[in-house]
Structure 1
Amino acid sequence: MQTFIVLGSILMAIAVAVGAFGAHMLKSKLEPDKLKVYEVGVQYHLIHALGLVGVGLLVGQYPEEGLIELAGWFMLAGIVLFSGSLYVLSMKRVRLLGPITPLGGLSFIVGWVLVALGVL
């Protein structure tokens, strides 16, 4: 599905920009442990943006394409919830976001399981 290829590509560009911002602008401003949190957010953002491109290439190729499409939406939710919460948590002291991060991780897991089921 073209939607996931476009979303994944845009999110890859954003992830590269966010990563460069962290490396150049935040390195001297954040404590090392906070910078590590930020970097983990970037890492998962990049991986799952590529996952979205992959989902876009798989949709329509397999009989259970509905599961693969659903996987893409879970990956998108994971990027927003997991990476987004880590970005904010690394720069702000917002404790409310702490419980959101695992929901993003769960979204990533569900997304990848759905890809596997959709391909089987």
Structure 2
Amino acid sequence: MSWFPSIAALSGATSVVLGAFGAHALKDKLNPHQAASWSTAVQYQLVHSIALLFVTSTAPLTGANLVASYAFTTGITLFSGSIYGLCLAPAGASVRKILGPTTPLGGIAFIVGWLALAYARRPTAPRL
């Protein structure tokens, strides 16, 4: 049994919590650019949580489906996680030097996940 469905559900719940947190608790603390970035991180986390749940619920977790599951999980962590950190870290904080380059790595992981999902769902030629 895989932990991916539970990870997907927890990530979905966390995205809702973080969306509310950003809209209310951080409303007066984030500048407009940070607020937009926070919103993007929440949206990508929620969309990819649903994608992860789809992958893990509709097919065996082998081959390309397993690659997609790991890629979506990695993307959620790196992409959304780094944006949350960048929005919360004060200007000049040394952690920003790590988080900044992490965001595109998470984006690449999302792309890999979607490509793996496309490969896993490709039509197969009929066997004669």
Settle same-fold status: TM greater than 0.5: yes
Q: Once the two structures are aligned, what percentage of the paired residues are identical?
A: 40
> What is the CA–CA distance in structure 2 between the aligned matches of 1:85 and 1:70, rounded to whole Å?
22
User: Quick one: which amino acid aligns to residue 100 of structure 2?
Assistant: G
Aligned CA-pair RMSD: 1.5
- Residue matched to 1:85: 82
Q: Please identify which structure carries the higher helix content.
A: 1
- Residues 89 and 97, structure 1, Cα contact 8 Å, conserved in 2: yes
> What is the CA–CA distance in structure 2 between the aligned matches of 1:53 and 1:76, rounded to whole Å?
10
Unaligned runs of 5+ in 2: 123-128
Query: What's the offset of the Cα at 1:4?
Result: 2.1
- Residues 78 and 105, structure 1, Cα contact 8 Å, conserved in 2: yes
Query: What's the offset of the Cα at 1:95?
Result: 2.8
- Residue matched to 1:8: 8
Larger RCO (CA within 8 A; separation ≥ 6): 1
Unaligned runs of 5+ in 1: none
Q: TM-score, normalised by structure 1?
A: 0.91
Q: How many residues align?
A: 117
* Bigger-Rg structure (1/2): 2
2:112 maps to 1:110: yes
> What is the CA–CA distance in structure 2 between the aligned matches of 1:20 and 1:11, rounded to whole Å?
14
Structure 1 range deviating more: 33-42 or 74-83: 33-42
Task: Show CA shifts across 1:94-119 (max 9, x none).
Answer: 13211110000000000010011012
Task: Show CA shifts across 1:42-75 (max 9, x none).
Answer: 1100000001100111332xxx932111111100
- Residues 59 and 69, structure 1, Cα contact 8 Å, conserved in 2: no
